[in-house]
Structure 1
Amino acid sequence: MKLKITIGERILTATLVNNPTTRDFISQLPLTLTLSDYVQAEKVSDLPKRLSTKDAPLGFEPTIGDLTYYSPWNGLAIFYKNRDYARGLIPIARIDAGVEVFSMSDSVKVTIDIIKQEKE
Structure 2
Amino acid sequence: MKQSRVILYPLLVFILAIMACNSDGSMDPNPDNNELENPGAENPGTDSTDADTSGNRLKIIIGTRTFNATLVSSPTVRAFKARLPMTVNMTELNGNEKLYNFSSALPTNASNPRNIAAGDLMLYGSATLVLFYESFPTSYSYTRLGKIDNASGLAAAVGSGSVSVRFEME
Pair 1:93-2:124 in alignment: no
Identity of aligned residues (%): 31
Alignment-derived partner of residue 37 in structure 2:
none
| Higher Cα radius of gyration | 2
Pair 1:76-2:117 in alignment: no
Match of 1:25 among 50, 70, 80: 80
By how many angstroms is 1:23 displaced? Answer: 1.1
Please give the alpha-carbon distance, in whole angstroms, between the structure 1 residues aligned to 2:103 and 2:59.
19
Query: What is the number of residues matched between the two proteins?
Result: 111
Please give the alpha-carbon distance, in whole angstroms, between the structure 2 residues aligned to 1:24 and 1:112.
14
Please give the alpha-carbon distance, in whole angstroms, between the structure 1 residues aligned to 2:161 and 2:144.
23
Instruction: Mark the CA change 1:102 to 1:39 in structure 2 (over 3 Å): closer, same or farther.
Output: farther
Higher helix residue share: 2
Alignment-derived partner of residue 165 in structure 2:
110
State the secondary structure of the residue aligned to 2:61. Answer: strand
Asked if the contact 1:3–1:114 (Cα under 8 Å) also holds between the matched residues in 2, the reply is yes
By how many angstroms is 1:82 displaced? Answer: 2.1
State the secondary structure of the residue aligned to 1:59. Answer: coil
- Can you give the 5+ residue segments of structure 2 that lack an aligned partner in the other structure? 1-55
By how many angstroms is 1:101 displaced? Answer: 3.1
What per-residue deviation string (whole Å, max 9, x for no partner) do you get for residues 46-70 of structure 1?
12321112xx143333221100011
Q: Which moved more, 1:95-104 or 1:63-72?
A: 95-104
Asked if the contact 2:85–2:166 (Cα under 8 Å) also holds between the matched residues in 1, the reply is yes
Asked if the contact 1:43–1:102 (Cα under 8 Å) also holds between the matched residues in 2, the reply is no
- Can you give the 5+ residue segments of structure 1 that lack an aligned partner in the other structure? 116-120
Match of 2:105 among 27, 38, 50: 50
Please give the alpha-carbon distance, in whole angstroms, between the structure 1 residues aligned to 2:60 and 2:166.
6
